[in-house]
Amino acid sequence: MSLWDKRPDMVVHNADPYNAESDPAVLHEHFLTDPDRFYSRNHGRIPDVPVDEWSLTVDGLVNRPQVFGLDELQHRFQPATVTATLQCAGNRRADLAEVKAIPGEPWGPSAISTAAWSGVRLADVLAAAGLDSPAAHVEFSAPDLADEVQPPEAYGSSIPLAKAGSPDVLIAWAMNGRPLPRLHGGPVRIVVPGYIGARSVKWVDRITVRESPSENFYQQVAYRLRPADADTDSSPLGSGVSLGVLPVTSAVLVPADHATVQPGPLKVSGYAFSGGGREIARVEVSVDGGTHWTQAELYDRAGPWAWTLWRAIVDVGVGTVGVVARAWDDSASTQPQTPAQVWNDKGYMNNSWPRARLTVADAATQ
Ligand SMILES: Nc1nc2c(c(=O)[nH]1)N[C@H]1C(S)=C(S)[C@@H](COP(=O)(O)O)O[C@H]1N2
Ligand SMILES: [Mo]
């Protein structure tokens, strides 16, 4: 049995704490990612929280602090389901690390997955507690301790109140119609569609309304985008842009990077995604470095918070061929050409053109 009931072909970057992504070839077999191949990112020991011992405290800048058990949450509020893609800020870090070494998991293109999440709206729970001024941020706290922080600190994060109040941010206990697996935050997690995965706090047990962002390490120090020339040792902790909304991105999943393929028509497929509720408007594929582009067919779309799967057929001749792609979203934003253009010392937000470097050879000569 593989770890955490995952498929044996998962790419496991770390067994404990478990950090793994799907084999790119099977990630987009289904529009909703099966739990057995859903990527997982963990900073500390995976907690084991029995449902009957779990409770959620809502406190901070609220008029009526609350404590809910799961039963109470389920009965007091309207159920809601949102299909949303989660993507780690470190997705596709491996391509940045080819430019210049970066510490941290060398994520390929599969630190991203999509599920139909069910629970209740965070906005409804906040309304029941009643906001008090100067409420401006909503913090989520979890019990898992991360040893990478000294002294060890429990995981936490926050989002701006404007996002927290939108109807698509969930307190979720189900994934694709089944109870949330422990690895993915069961019994209950937060789901913040369109934001980096780090804000979708698993095993959440406290929601605190604040005037300022969370002081947690994962809000103040990690998940910040620093300039390419930031000196890791001397620039102050907490410098850089605090990451939230994801930029437009895409990946080529098939064929795999470094694959050998036959000359002639070649099927290329992958995903595209943009944060902040922006929809994918177009995906293009090139086999000549971006001089000519073939329009990909977009299929299997499910609203503003989920990825778009795409496929294209291009023609390749014998030799070495680079297949590249670029997506455009409905704000007409597109992807930068090279990883070097977006390199940063923590390896976040690589949304450069994905590429598959292929050897094209006749079957007879292979
Ligand atoms: N409590 C807690 N929540 C967490 C994390 C964590 O380590 N602890 N990792 C975050 C990060 S960085 C990501 S990308 C997502 C991954 O969610 P998944 O494991 O369900 O795919 O969870 C986020 N929520
Ligand atoms: Mo992440």
Q: What average pLDDT score do residues 71-82 get? A: 98
The answer to whether the predicted template modeling score (pTM) of the entire model surpasses 0.95 is yes
Examine the pLDDT at 236 and tell me if it is beyond 80.
no
* Alpha-helical regions (H) of the chain: 24-27, 70-76, 93-97, 122-129, 161-164, 217-220
Ion ligand 2: residue ranges with CB closer than 5 A? 41, 88, 197-198
How do residues 273-293 score in pLDDT, each as one tens digit?
999 999 999 999 999 999 999
Q: 226 pLDDT exceeds 80?
A: yes
Spacing, Cα 355 to ligand 2 middle (Å): 22
| Cα(52)–Cα(188) distance, integer angstroms | 12
Ligand 1 probe mutation, 18, 33, 36, 42, most atoms within 8 A of CB: 42
Report the residue among 43, 105, 191, 195 best suited for mutation to probe ligand 1: largest number of ligand atoms under 8 A from its CB: 43
Residues 73 and 65 sit within 8 Å (Cβ to Cβ)? no
CB 262, CB 363: distance < 8 Å: yes
Ligand 1 residue neighbourhood (C-beta within 6 Å): 38-43, 86, 88, 142, 144, 155, 184-185, 197-198, 200-203
Confidence grade of residue 294 (pLDDT, cut at 50, 70, 90): very high
Q: Whose CA is nearest to atom 15 of ligand 1?
A: 197
- What is the C-alpha to C-alpha distance for residues 289 and 285, in angstroms, rounded to an integer? 9
Predicted confidence band at 29 (pLDDT cuts at 50, 70, 90)?
very high
**Which of 147, 202, 273, 348 for a ligand 1 pocket mutation test, highest count of atoms within 8 Å of Cβ?**
202
Does the pLDDT at position 239 exceed 90?
no
238: pLDDT confidence band, cut at 50, 70 and 90?
confident
The string of DSSP codes covering 280-291 is: EEEEEEESSTTS
pLDDT at residue 75 in the model: 97
Task: Give distance in angstroms: CA of 292 to centre of ligand 2.
Answer: 34
Cα-to-centroid distance, 350 and ligand 2 (Å) = 13
Residues 6+ apart with CB under 8 A from 333: 247, 248, 274, 278
Report which ligand 1 atom has the smallest distance to the Cα of 203. 1
- Centre of ligand 2 from the C-alpha of residue 193, in Å: 13
207 touches 290 (CB < 8 A): no
Ligand 2 centroid to 196 CA: how many Å?
7
The best mutation among 19, 85, 188, 200 to test binding of ligand 1, ranked by most ligand atoms within 8 Å of the C-beta, falls on 200
Q: What is the model's pLDDT at position 229?
A: 85
- Quote the percentage of the chain above a pLDDT of 70: 97
CA of 359 to the centre of ligand 2 (A): 33
Query: 156 CA distance to ligand 1 centroid (A)?
Result: 10
- Per-residue burial over 236-263, b if 16 or more Cβ lie within 10 Å, else e, is eeeebeebbebbbbbbbbbbbbeeebee
Q: Is the pLDDT of residue 232 over 70?
A: no
pLDDT of residue 2: 81
Would you state the pLDDT for residue 235?
64
Residue nearest ligand 1's atom 11 by CA: 198
Residue 366: is its pLDDT beyond 60? no
Q: How far is the CA of 263 from the centre of ligand 1 (A)?
A: 42
